[in-house]
Amino acid sequence: MSLERNRLFEWLHSSEGEAAVHRVLQVDSNYVVIIDVNHPCAQPNWHKRAELESIVENGSIKFLAEDPFEAALPYLEDLSEAQREHLESAWKVVYSIHASGELAFIPQERSRLIQQASKKTGRSEKAIRKNLRRSIRVSSRSLLPTKL
Protein backbone atom coordinates (compact mmCIF):
# COMPACT_ATOMS: atom_id res chain seq x y z
CA MET A 1 0.00 0.00 0.00
CA SER A 2 1.10 3.52 -0.64
CA LEU A 3 0.45 7.10 0.39
CA GLU A 4 -2.63 8.08 -1.60
CA ARG A 5 -5.04 10.99 -1.23
CA ASN A 6 -7.79 10.38 1.35
CA ARG A 7 -6.16 7.20 2.77
CA LEU A 8 -6.22 6.69 6.51
CA PHE A 9 -3.23 5.31 8.33
CA GLU A 10 -2.18 4.60 11.87
CA TRP A 11 1.22 6.04 12.78
CA LEU A 12 3.00 4.67 15.81
CA HIS A 13 5.03 7.58 17.17
CA SER A 14 7.82 5.93 19.14
CA SER A 15 8.42 9.01 21.27
CA GLU A 16 4.76 9.10 22.38
CA GLY A 17 4.32 5.33 22.54
CA GLU A 18 0.84 5.43 21.03
CA ALA A 19 -0.67 5.41 17.57
CA ALA A 20 -2.43 8.33 15.93
CA VAL A 21 -4.74 8.06 12.93
CA HIS A 22 -4.01 10.42 10.04
CA ARG A 23 -5.67 11.16 6.71
CA VAL A 24 -3.62 11.89 3.59
CA LEU A 25 -4.87 15.17 2.17
CA GLN A 26 -2.48 15.70 -0.71
CA VAL A 27 0.49 13.94 -2.29
CA ASP A 28 3.00 15.30 -4.77
CA SER A 29 6.46 14.20 -5.82
CA ASN A 30 8.15 15.87 -2.82
CA TYR A 31 5.60 16.31 -0.04
CA VAL A 32 2.62 14.66 1.64
CA VAL A 33 0.04 16.70 3.56
CA ILE A 34 -1.65 14.84 6.43
CA ILE A 35 -4.00 15.61 9.30
CA ASP A 36 -4.65 13.90 12.63
CA VAL A 37 -8.29 12.84 12.32
CA ASN A 38 -8.90 12.35 16.03
CA HIS A 39 -7.77 15.79 17.15
CA PRO A 40 -10.63 18.31 16.79
CA CYS A 41 -8.26 21.27 16.40
CA ALA A 42 -5.76 19.53 14.12
CA GLN A 43 -4.22 21.45 11.25
CA PRO A 44 -2.70 20.03 8.06
CA ASN A 45 0.97 19.07 8.39
CA TRP A 46 3.49 18.86 5.58
CA HIS A 47 6.00 16.00 5.53
CA LYS A 48 8.70 15.06 3.05
CA ARG A 49 7.35 12.21 0.97
CA ALA A 50 10.60 10.24 1.11
CA GLU A 51 10.62 10.38 4.92
CA LEU A 52 7.04 9.11 5.22
CA GLU A 53 7.68 6.36 2.68
CA SER A 54 10.67 5.28 4.76
CA ILE A 55 8.46 5.16 7.87
CA VAL A 56 5.94 3.03 5.93
CA GLU A 57 8.75 0.64 4.97
CA ASN A 58 9.98 0.26 8.57
CA GLY A 59 6.45 -0.65 9.72
CA SER A 60 5.62 2.35 11.90
CA ILE A 61 2.75 3.29 9.55
CA LYS A 62 -0.10 0.86 8.98
CA PHE A 63 -2.80 1.66 6.44
CA LEU A 64 -6.42 1.18 7.51
CA ALA A 65 -8.54 -0.99 5.23
CA GLU A 66 -11.77 0.90 5.98
CA ASP A 67 -12.67 4.46 6.83
CA PRO A 68 -14.59 4.24 10.14
CA PHE A 69 -15.81 7.84 9.75
CA GLU A 70 -17.68 7.12 6.54
CA ALA A 71 -19.66 4.29 8.10
CA ALA A 72 -20.68 6.48 11.04
CA LEU A 73 -22.04 9.35 8.93
CA PRO A 74 -25.59 9.42 7.59
CA TYR A 75 -26.34 9.12 3.88
CA LEU A 76 -27.98 11.99 2.02
CA GLU A 77 -31.21 10.05 1.46
CA ASP A 78 -31.54 9.64 5.24
CA LEU A 79 -31.43 13.39 5.89
CA SER A 80 -34.30 15.76 6.46
CA GLU A 81 -34.73 18.70 4.10
CA ALA A 82 -33.39 21.08 6.79
CA GLN A 83 -30.29 18.92 7.25
CA ARG A 84 -29.67 18.79 3.49
CA GLU A 85 -29.97 22.57 3.24
CA HIS A 86 -27.56 23.03 6.16
CA LEU A 87 -25.07 20.62 4.58
CA GLU A 88 -25.27 22.28 1.18
CA SER A 89 -24.88 25.76 2.61
CA ALA A 90 -21.85 24.83 4.73
CA TRP A 91 -20.29 22.83 1.89
CA LYS A 92 -20.52 25.72 -0.61
CA VAL A 93 -18.37 27.88 1.65
CA VAL A 94 -15.87 25.13 2.42
CA TYR A 95 -15.69 24.01 -1.22
CA SER A 96 -14.47 27.44 -2.31
CA ILE A 97 -11.48 26.94 0.01
CA HIS A 98 -10.92 23.31 -1.04
CA ALA A 99 -10.95 24.42 -4.68
CA SER A 100 -7.81 26.49 -4.08
CA GLY A 101 -5.80 23.25 -3.95
CA GLU A 102 -2.64 23.20 -1.89
CA LEU A 103 -3.16 26.82 -0.77
CA ALA A 104 -5.79 25.45 1.63
CA PHE A 105 -3.00 23.58 3.44
CA ILE A 106 -0.64 26.55 3.88
CA PRO A 107 -1.58 28.32 7.15
CA GLN A 108 -1.24 31.93 5.95
CA GLU A 109 -3.07 31.24 2.70
CA ARG A 110 -5.79 29.25 4.46
CA SER A 111 -6.38 32.20 6.81
CA ARG A 112 -6.61 34.57 3.86
CA LEU A 113 -9.08 32.26 2.08
CA ILE A 114 -11.19 31.96 5.25
CA GLN A 115 -11.25 35.75 5.65
CA GLN A 116 -12.36 36.16 2.02
CA ALA A 117 -15.09 33.53 2.44
CA SER A 118 -16.29 35.23 5.63
CA LYS A 119 -16.56 38.62 3.93
CA LYS A 120 -18.32 37.10 0.92
CA THR A 121 -20.86 35.00 2.86
CA GLY A 122 -21.29 36.84 6.15
CA ARG A 123 -20.40 33.68 8.10
CA SER A 124 -17.96 33.99 10.96
CA GLU A 125 -14.35 33.02 10.38
CA LYS A 126 -14.59 30.71 13.40
CA ALA A 127 -17.52 28.79 11.87
CA ILE A 128 -15.81 28.52 8.49
CA ARG A 129 -12.56 27.33 10.09
CA LYS A 130 -14.45 24.71 12.12
CA ASN A 131 -16.34 23.43 9.07
CA LEU A 132 -13.18 23.36 6.97
CA ARG A 133 -11.30 21.40 9.62
CA ARG A 134 -14.16 18.90 9.99
CA SER A 135 -14.47 18.42 6.24
CA ILE A 136 -10.79 17.62 5.73
CA ARG A 137 -10.48 15.45 8.86
CA VAL A 138 -13.57 13.34 8.29
CA SER A 139 -15.79 14.00 5.26
CA SER A 140 -17.99 16.67 3.73
CA ARG A 141 -20.94 14.85 5.35
CA SER A 142 -19.41 15.73 8.73
CA LEU A 143 -20.73 19.27 8.20
CA LEU A 144 -24.16 18.10 9.28
CA PRO A 145 -25.44 19.83 12.40
CA THR A 146 -25.58 17.76 15.53
CA LYS A 147 -29.00 19.22 16.35
CA LEU A 148 -31.53 21.12 14.29
Buried (b) or exposed (e) across 113-126, using 16+ Cβ within 10 A?
A: bbeebbeeeebeee
The alpha carbon of residue 21 and the mean position of all alpha carbons in its chain are separated, in whole angstroms, by 12
Q: Which of 56-60, 116-120, 129-133, 135-139 has the lowest mean pLDDT?
A: 135-139
The model's confidence at residue 46, banded by pLDDT at 50, 70 and 90, is very high
**Amino acid identity, position 140:** S
**First CA to last CA distance, the chain:** 41
Whether the per-residue pLDDT at 16 is higher than 70: the answer is: no
* Per-residue pLDDT at 49: 95
Q: Is the pLDDT of residue 19 over 70?
A: yes
Tell me what percent of the residues of the chain surpass a pLDDT of 70.
Answer: 85
How much is the average pLDDT of 13-22?
72
Determine contact, residues 142/105, Cβ cutoff 8 Å.
no
**In the prediction, which pLDDT does 148 show?**
32
